[in-house]
Amino acid sequence: MESFYIETYGCQMNEADSEYMASILMSLGFERAENLNKADIILVNTCSIREKAEKKVLSFVGRVRPFKEQKNIILGVCGCVAKQEGEKLLGKAPYIDMIFGPYQINKLPELLSRVKSLKKPVIALDDEACFQRDVNALVYPGVRAFIPIMQGCNNFCSYCIVPYVRGREVSREEEEILYEVKRLAKLGVKEVMLLGQNVNSYALDRGVKDGFVSLIEKVSKVEGIERIRFTTSHPKDLTDSLINAFGYIDKLCPHIHLPVQSGSNKVLSLMNRRYSREEYLEKVYKLRKVCPEISITTDIIVGFPGEDDRDFEDTLDLYKQVNFDSAFSFKFSPRPGTKASNMTNIVPEEIKQSRLEILQELQKSITYDKNKMLENKILPVLIESKSKKNEGEFVGRTPCFRVTNIICNNVKSLDMIGQIVDVKILKGLKNSLKAQLVNGD
Ligand code: SF4
């Protein structure tokens, strides 16, 4: 049987797209290859948010080239870099067979047959957002499924390329989403992650207010689905009704990823984030009032053009006030085509690096303290898999999304996977928890 391998870079939207491509390929009779050098079709699903995206893609396809010379592999590049660079990629790597954008995934079968019959590279890069997912082709993705509910973004943060490569916000029909959730529940999925660049504005493009809360309420009624999560939320669009949903929708997990990006009002304005640090802190306060155990995670950019010592102090201050459960922090680097790429007042590299280190050290100690505070607590964990590292252990997540390694000495079968079990936290580690089953051994 012929097989495929998909390399995925970037966000959970890309992971969802890759999972969908895998379903399409399996429905065509292909199987997943154990590794790159065994595959007949190799796809790289790219992301252009981070620095050197194109270089990373070219380095990956360069690795594939020797395999291509040995056998007849089809090599495809898709996602945001494909959309952004298009045919230019062929100038640097003429052995690529397919280049297609994020909204062309549904056409994968057709693209493959065109590559085979034309024997020349095929390019498909239309702009329009499309949600034509063949939901019936979806295969079991594991305990958790990523479900795209909208595409694109209207926000134009000054550093971000997404609105240029993914276009404006387009929400998927609620009925289609619910159909997909029900189908996944039947396949055995227990947790859904609703995805969009800014899920808080779901359905606003159709003029529906609070459409996202209404969607979560409906998903929570789907039999078999035990947990609901979502990402990402723009703080300015986090409404009181969504905050309140954490208080009454039992299946909505107590975790929110709320990218703050900076604690300085001056920098937030330069970033075009359209909220102030005070507004952000107020939303955090409300979230904790409605759901005291909520875990709040964030993204931060340090060294944005114009960020001075005082601005960075403001970020540290906000950090300490919020006490984030974890954070992804990055040094600013310009993305061609964005407003920030033309900004002056560049922060020197060594200052960026030192600010990043300060922030990351602070976060490490906050995360560790928070994990320690969970010791001896009993928490419900959704078991996702057997541990790859330790025999006799399973891996799952707490409601607040902490990775938990569970010692289960006497569990022989894999029946545990997909179950929500109560565990006692034995140890809070730097990035995870160690636990044991409450009932059983
Ligand atoms: S909200 Fe801002 S950072 Fe997020 S995708 Fe939209 S433009 Fe990019």
pLDDT digits (tens, 9 = 90+) for 329-351: 999 999 888 999 999 999 999 99
Count CB atoms within 10 A of the CB of residue 159.
23
Position 130 confidence tier, pLDDT thresholds 50, 70, 90: low
d(CA 159, CA 336): 9
Residue 161 alpha carbon to ligand 1 centre in Å: 8
The 10s digit of each residue's pLDDT in 9-30 is 888 888 888 989 999 999 899 9
Position 129 confidence tier, pLDDT thresholds 50, 70, 90: low
Residue 413 alpha carbon to ligand 1 centre in Å: 44
d(CA 258, CA 266): 19
Residue 219 alpha carbon to ligand 1 centre in Å: 25
Residue nearest to atom 8 of ligand 1 (CA): 160
Residue nearest to atom 2 of ligand 1 (CA): 157
Our CA angle for 360, 361, 362, nearest 5°, is 90
d(CA 369, CA 373): 6
Residue 272 alpha carbon to ligand 1 centre in Å: 10
CATH of domain 3-124: 3.40.50.12160
Atom of ligand 1 nearest to the CA of 273: 2
Residue nearest to atom 4 of ligand 1 (CA): 197
Residue 130 alpha carbon to ligand 1 centre in Å: 19
Q: Which of 16-25, 53-62, 229-238 has the lowest mean pLDDT?
A: 53-62
* Higher local confidence (pLDDT), 384 or 391: 384
Among 160, 269, 272, say which to mutate for ligand 1: greatest number of ligand atoms within 8 Å of CB: 160
Within 6 A (CB) of ligand 1 lie 153, 155-157, 160, 162-163, 197-198, 234
Q: Find out if CATH 3.30.750.210 is the number for domain 140-253.
A: yes
Dihedral sign, Cα of residue 94, residue 96, residue 97, residue 102? negative
The confidence score (pLDDT) of residue 416 equals 85
Mean pLDDT of the region 103-123: 90
CATH 3.30.750.200 domain locations along the chain = 283-373
Mean pLDDT of the region 279-300: 98
d(CA 105, CA 129): 11
Q: Which CATH architecture has domain 283-373?
A: 2-Layer Sandwich (3.30)
The confidence score (pLDDT) of residue 128 equals 67
pLDDT value at 238 more than 60? yes
pLDDT value at 251 more than 80? yes
The confidence score (pLDDT) of residue 255 equals 98
The confidence score (pLDDT) of residue 413 equals 54
The confidence score (pLDDT) of residue 395 equals 95
Residue 387 alpha carbon to ligand 1 centre in Å: 35
Cis geometry, peptide bond prior to residue 232 (ω within 30 degrees of 0): yes
Given the candidates 2.60.40, 2.40.50, 2.60.120, 3.40.50, the CATH classification of the domain at 378-437 is 2.40.50
| Token digits of residue 263 | 């604690």
CATH 2.40.50 domain locations along the chain = 378-437
Atom of ligand 1 nearest to the CA of 197: 5
> Quick one: what percent of the chain has pLDDT higher than 70?
96
Mean pLDDT of the region 53-80: 88
Residue 166 alpha carbon to ligand 1 centre in Å: 11
Residue closest to 263 by CA, chosen among 329, 335, 349: 329
**Beta strands, E only, 179-332:** 191-195, 227-231, 255-257, 295-302, 326-331
The 10s digit of each residue's pLDDT in 391-417 is 888 999 999 999 999 998 766 556 789
Residue nearest to atom 1 of ligand 1 (CA): 155
The confidence score (pLDDT) of residue 336 equals 82
Mean pLDDT of the region 244-267: 98
The confidence score (pLDDT) of residue 164 equals 86
Position 141 confidence tier, pLDDT thresholds 50, 70, 90: confident
The confidence score (pLDDT) of residue 411 equals 60
Q: What is the pTM of this model?
A: 0.90
